[in-house]
Structures are given as C-alpha cells and as structure tokens.
Amino acid sequence: MLKPKQMSRAVIVGHKNILEETVDALHKANLFHIEDFNEDDSDLKIGKPFESGSEVSKKLVKIRSIASLLGVKDVAVEKQSPSEICSQLDSSLDKLDDELEILSEKKRVFETELKELGSSKKDILPFIGTDLDLDLYRGYESLAVFAGHVKEDIGPSVSQLTSSYELYYDQHSGVVVLFVSKDKAAEVSELLARVSFKELKVPNLSGIPSGLIADIEQKEADISKKIEAIDADIEALKLKYADFILASNEMLSIEVQKSEAPLRIATTESSFLIDGWLPTEQYAEMERTVNTATNGRAFVSPLEITKPDIKKVPIEYDNPKIVSPLQEIMNLYGRPTYKELDPSALIFITFPLLYGMILGDIGYALILLIMALAIKKIVSSDAVKPLMNILIYCQISTLFFGILYGEFLGFPLAAYHGQPGLLPGFDTIDLLATPFPGEVIGFPLHRSHLVMTFIVATVFVGLLHLNLGYAVGFINEKRKHGISAAIFEKGSWFVVQFGILLTVLGYLEMLPIVAGIVVFLIGVVMLVKGEGVKGPIELPSLLSNSLSYTRIIAVGLSSISIASTVNLIAFDMIWPPGSPIGGMTIFAIVVFLFGHALNTALSIIAPGLHALRLQYVEFFGKFYEGGGRKYDPFGYIRKYTEEK
C-alpha cells in the first residue's frame, strides 16, 4: 500500500538451442516484463522468430476472419484443454472454413438474384398503370410508340395534331403511352419535348405488367426465405463452433506471441540474452521455473537498477483488493513513478468523501447503489467492474452524508422552522450557533439554509485536503532529493500557512501582528530557495485552490435546486396537495419520474467530475508526477483454455 511493488531487473542468458524452452517457461510463468531490445553498435542482433510462427499466424488470421464473419462474441465458456484443440485444429478449421464458404457463396448468389429481381421490378413498375401486355409495345411497321413521364395530360394537344392515335395516360404516376402512325411521329415528339417528356425504356419481357410484378414478388419472397434459412444455418454453425473458435483463437494467439518473442530479444551467433523486470518477491520463483525448464542451462542473474533506469521501471500497483478499483482513476491520470508514493489508498478515502459531501441525498444514493450493484451483476466486462465498485463506494459515502443532511430526493426529511419535512414528527434539533445571522448548525444539517457556514466549512475541508497533499509531497521529495529539499520545497508551504494564521490572529488583536508577518516572510524565503522564482508566483494558488473547494456546496446546492424544482412542479403546480386523484396525478408522477431520472444521471456526472477534478488538479498538483510505465509481463491470461 502507498508504494508500487518493488521490482528487480534480471538478465537471462543461455545457448540458442534452449531459447524455445526458456520462452515457453517465461510465458507460462507470466511474470517477466521483457525490455525490448533495440539494435545498437554492439554485436548483438535482434532474434529471428521461431519457424512455426508463419504457419500459426496464417491459421490465426483465418480463425479471426471466421470469428468476425460469424460475429462470435467473448462469452464465458467452459475451458478446454489446448492439446485437444491442437489435435483437432487443422481438420476442424478446414471443415468450418469449407462449410462457411459454401454457405456464404450460396447467400451471395441469392443476394445477387434478389438485386436483379429488384431492378427489373423497378423497370416494370411505371407500366403497371396502363397495364398493357409488354409485347404490344414493339414490332410495328407503321406505328410509333412513345412511353414515358410527362408533366400534364397531352390528350387535347395530340388530338389537334392527328385523329388516329391511341393514348393511355395514368394521372397518378404521370406515365403516358402513345401510339401514333409513323408519319406523325416527328410532330408528336416535338410536342412531347415541350411538355418535358422523359422516355422510359420498355423492359424486354412479355406479359401483363401486373402479372409480372406478382411473379417477381413471389420469387423475391422465396429467395428471402432461402436467405433466412442460410442465416439460420450460419447461426447454427456459430453456436456449434463458438467454443472452438474462442479457444483456438486464444491458443493460436499464445503461440504467435511465443514465436515472435525472439524479436524482442538480443542474440549473438549462438546465444541469447533476455533483459527485463519482475517483482522482487517473485524473483526466486522465476529463477526456479527457468532452471527447471532448461535443466539449469539458462542463467538468471540480477542487474543493479541504475539511476537513469529508475524512470524506466515498470510499475505494478501493490494495493489491497478493496482499494484496487481506485487504480482506474490513477491510470486515467498516469501511473505513479517508481520512487513516488502511490496515492490510490488516499483517494480511496478522499474521492468518495468529497463525492458524498457534494451529492448527500439518501434517495439518489439508494437509486445509484442499486443500479451499480445490478450493473456489476449483469455486465461481466472487466472494464466496467472497477467503475461500478467506485460508484458503490461513492454511494455509501453519499448515504452517510444524506442522513447527515436529512435529504431525500430533494425533500427535507425533518421539519425546519415551521416548514414541514417528509417524516412527520421529525424536527430539526438546533445544536450550535454560527457567526452568520440566521444560520444554526443542527441535525440534520439543512444545506440550503446554511450556505455561508458551508462555504466557510468547505474551504477548511479544502485546506485539510491541500495540506495532506503537501505532506505527501514532503515524503516524495524526501525520498527523491533528501530532507533539506523536502523542507524547502514543501515544508515552506506549511510555514507560509502558519504565518498567515498568525497574521489573522494578529489582526484579531490576539497576537502582535509582526510575528505573523515575520513567519510568513520566512516561509516565502524558504519557498524561493526551494522552488526558485516559481514559488512566490504560486502563492496565490493557495487562495484559489482552497476557494475551489466551495464547489462542494455550490454543486450540491444546484443538485438540490433541480430536485426540489422537480418536486415543486410535480406536487405543487400540476397536482397541488389536497386535490383529487385523477389524470393530473398520473401526469405529476410522470414529471416526477422523468425529472428525477435526469437528476440521477446528473448526480453521477456532476459530483463525480468535480470530486475527480479536486483530486487531479488541487490534490495531485501538490505532489504527484505520474507517468510510470505499466508492468506488462510476457504471458497471457487464459480465458478459454486451461493448461494441465
């Protein structure tokens, strides 16, 4: 806790003919963070991947393409033994590939057919209004046929030109079919051009259009059914092979990872050299594993961690399980560096605390608590679980502050100065007068009636939090640069604050004011010595940072305002108390539910972001550097296969 795991650097050296065994053993142990080798001027060269590699990666590509084609999802399945999969891999893979190929080929053919039918249907559709046999449109010696779209009925104007004609006009679609003798064709086409005639191509089919369309629709339905049947077959294939696909994907991925390992390793003509990191406590275990796998022919030797190397040490958190969800918040900002204090355990307390102080409502706490527990149960994703755990921690704190503030969905639980509360008979107990007129501290604490008190109180909460930050900064600095640097860089802030406190006491005429000013100036001088010119420039941040904590009350009040406005609209304006139950009651309940659903969503975002920001900007700004590398051991966490 409070410190990343202690790491050791180790080098594994051996003859090339035991490289494969060594890599196997390391992969199985899943402990060793391999430091990738970059070729330099020395005689060391990057290794060549194992021979089996290309074959395996080909298979992997195949299985992944099948998986994406079938849409196989990551689900929990029974673990299978790799040797079994290995024995049936080739045959099953080929069989699966063939079956899938046949099915998708069939599907493709049907889909093309469907497309062709669709396009001929589109061609015939305009002629359905006139519904003449399509054979009637062609094969005349003395007749000209015009078929197409027009904007208006051309009957009257054609009749002025000639009397021997046959005209079909479908007013609905604007399609016209006109038969005239050929000697009038030129004049008619001139006339048609004036009414923006757009010619239609007569489909090369015979039969009545309506009959043809019915035929096509019948065929389309048949083909759709066939495609559905194929889809069902593919789905069945997916169900049958899902376990196999997941397991073999995992197995092949592992094989590829192993066969490509030499690309990260330094080699000479006949030997190899693996450089990397591992947690110190597991050093002996790894040494033993490598020795057993190679009969003691590979040598593991520790390497001293030099000063420039400290920045490169991969970081593995070392926190109790209950704190571990907060590591996600750390990762979002950046892992701690090796010599730095890991603040996960601190924000495990401060983050939910600030969140609870902001939200502080029993109703929302219960809703969000149930929601988080349900999501945690339903969703098995590893990414969601820590977030839900953080939400649960926050809601526990919110529940505590909700009881302290006596709030339930924006309603006050206790009566306050004559205004009734939600619980009959529960009256506010006055405990302590404050310097602010009209504000009395009691139980429960009515935030909206204690604004000034809360503004002052939250600034003090801020000062406590900031000083915790300076204290951690002091420890970090001491570890990195020694005690004197720590005193000047971080200790000076305590002196400055103490000076300000004494000055305030002096102002209140409890002390000579000079004492405070002297202490303050000593603090500033120390700060200049510790941090240079930058120090005094940062002095005002003491004020702005601590005032920033007033957001605890400000955001809290805005949440109360939204909630009580919803309550007011629902149960005062739409359905006033005392009025009969009716349609308005339902409306009021709908407004109530929607309003609070909205505010529940806001209750995650607003207090969450603000509590997070207070950690990241105000708190971390005092001590945290971050930017550590993730400890990523060479290995694989098996989900679908199990090694015997």
Partner 1 sequence: MVTETVTMMDPAGLQAIGAALAVGLTGFASAYAEKEIGTAAIGAMAENESLFGKGLILTVIPETIVIFGLVVALLML
Q: Is 511 exposed, middle or buried (0-12, 13-18, 19+ CB in 10 A)?
A: middle
- Pairwise CA distance, residues 317 & 3, whole Å: 7
Closest approach of Cβ 624 to partner 1, in Å? 13
Interface map 499-538 toward partner 1 (x if CB under 8 A): ----------------------------------------
Nearer residue to partner 1 within complex by CB, 165 or 616: 616
Residues whose CB is less than 8 angstroms from the CB of residue 222 and which lie 6 or more positions away in sequence, other chains included: none
Nearer residue to partner 1 within complex by CB, 455 or 500: 455
Residues whose CB is less than 8 angstroms from the CB of residue 356 and which lie 6 or more positions away in sequence, other chains included: 394, 396, 397, 398, 399, 400, 401
Size of the site for partner 1 (CB under 8 A): 20
Closest approach of Cβ 320 to partner 1, in Å? 24
Q: Write the DSSP assignment of 53-108 as a string of letters.
A: HHHHHHHHHHHHHHHHHHT--------B-HHHHHHHHHHHHHHHHHHHHHHHHHHH
Q: Is 474 exposed, middle or buried (0-12, 13-18, 19+ CB in 10 A)?
A: buried
Binding residues for partner 1 restricted to 29-58, rule: CB under 8 A: none
Q: Which of 92, 120, 327, 550 binds partner 1 (CB under 8 A)?
A: 550
Using the rule CB under 8 A, is 558 a contact of partner 1?
A: yes
Stretch that binds partner 1, among 61-69, 80-88, 438-446, 549-557 (CB under 8 A): 549-557
Closest approach of Cβ 613 to partner 1, in Å? 5
Nearer residue to partner 1 within complex by CB, 339 or 613: 613
Binding residues for partner 1 restricted to 304-363, rule: CB under 8 A: 332-333
Using the rule CB under 8 A, is 387 a contact of partner 1?
A: no
Q: How many residues does the chain have?
A: 644
Stretch that binds partner 1, among 117-125, 193-201, 510-518, 540-548 (CB under 8 A): 540-548
- Pairwise CA distance, residues 85 & 247, whole Å: 8
Q: Which of 303, 370, 598, 617 binds partner 1 (CB under 8 A)?
A: 617
Stretch that binds partner 1, among 305-313, 315-323, 421-429, 610-618 (CB under 8 A): 610-618
Q: Is 151 helix (H, G, I), strand (E, B) or coil?
A: coil
Nearer residue to partner 1 within complex by CB, 513 or 539: 539
The closest of 373, 414, 415, 369 to 395, measured between CA atoms, is 369
H or E, element range at 147: strand 143-149
Stretch that binds partner 1, among 253-261, 408-416, 544-552, 569-577 (CB under 8 A): 544-552
Using the rule CB under 8 A, is 544 a contact of partner 1?
A: yes
Using the rule CB under 8 A, is 498 a contact of partner 1?
A: no
Q: Which of 258, 490, 610, 622 binds partner 1 (CB under 8 A)?
A: 610
Q: Which of 232, 547, 568, 573 binds partner 1 (CB under 8 A)?
A: 547
Do 360 and 398 meet the contact criterion of CB atoms below 8 Å apart?
A: yes
Closest approach of Cβ 455 to partner 1, in Å? 6
Closest approach of Cβ 544 to partner 1, in Å? 8
- Pairwise CA distance, residues 308 & 310, whole Å: 5
- The beta strand positions in 466-515, using DSSP E, are none
- Pairwise CA distance, residues 46 & 39, whole Å: 7
- What residue type is assigned to position 572 of the chain? D
Closest approach of Cβ 267 to partner 1, in Å? 33
Using the rule CB under 8 A, is 555 a contact of partner 1?
A: yes
How many angstroms separate the Cα of 622 from the Cα of each of 344, 490, 619, 640? 15, 9, 6, 45
Closest approach of Cβ 551 to partner 1, in Å? 4
Nearer residue to partner 1 within complex by CB, 214 or 547: 547
Closest approach of Cβ 31 to partner 1, in Å? 26
- Pairwise CA distance, residues 97 & 102, whole Å: 9
Residues whose CB is less than 8 angstroms from the CB of residue 32 and which lie 6 or more positions away in sequence, other chains included: 10, 12, 26, 274, 276, 277, 278, 286, 633, 634, 635
The closest of 554, 603, 613, 594 to 369, measured between CA atoms, is 603
Do 275 and 40 meet the contact criterion of CB atoms below 8 Å apart?
A: no
Nearer residue to partner 1 within complex by CB, 90 or 625: 625
Do 390 and 356 meet the contact criterion of CB atoms below 8 Å apart?
A: no
- Pairwise CA distance, residues 233 & 461, whole Å: 64
- Pairwise CA distance, residues 17 & 523, whole Å: 65
* Residue carrying structure tokens 């208006």: 152
Q: Which of 3, 28, 480, 613 binds partner 1 (CB under 8 A)?
A: 613
Using the rule CB under 8 A, is 554 a contact of partner 1?
A: yes
In this structure, the strands spanning 266-267 and 175-181 are unpaired
Nearer residue to partner 1 within complex by CB, 521 or 547: 547
Nearer residue to partner 1 within complex by CB, 448 or 467: 448
Closest approach of Cβ 312 to partner 1, in Å? 20
Do 409 and 364 meet the contact criterion of CB atoms below 8 Å apart?
A: yes
The closest of 408, 369, 378 to 604, measured between CA atoms, is 369
Stretch that binds partner 1, among 225-233, 280-288, 551-559, 562-570 (CB under 8 A): 551-559
Q: Which of 189, 616, 621, 636 binds partner 1 (CB under 8 A)?
A: 616
Interface map 441-470 toward partner 1 (x if CB under 8 A): ----------xx--x---------------
Closest approach of Cβ 623 to partner 1, in Å? 17
Using the rule CB under 8 A, is 588 a contact of partner 1?
A: no
Using the rule CB under 8 A, is 160 a contact of partner 1?
A: no
Closest approach of Cβ 238 to partner 1, in Å? 29
Please calculate the CA angle 434-435-440 and round it to the nearest 5 degrees: 25
Stretch that binds partner 1, among 200-208, 220-228, 468-476, 612-620 (CB under 8 A): 612-620
Nearer residue to partner 1 within complex by CB, 510 or 609: 609
Q: Which of 197, 612, 622, 641 binds partner 1 (CB under 8 A)?
A: 612
Nearer residue to partner 1 within complex by CB, 178 or 606: 606
Chain residues in the site for partner 1 (CB under 8 A): 332-333, 451-452, 455, 544, 547-548, 550-551, 554-555, 557-558, 609-610, 612-613, 616-617
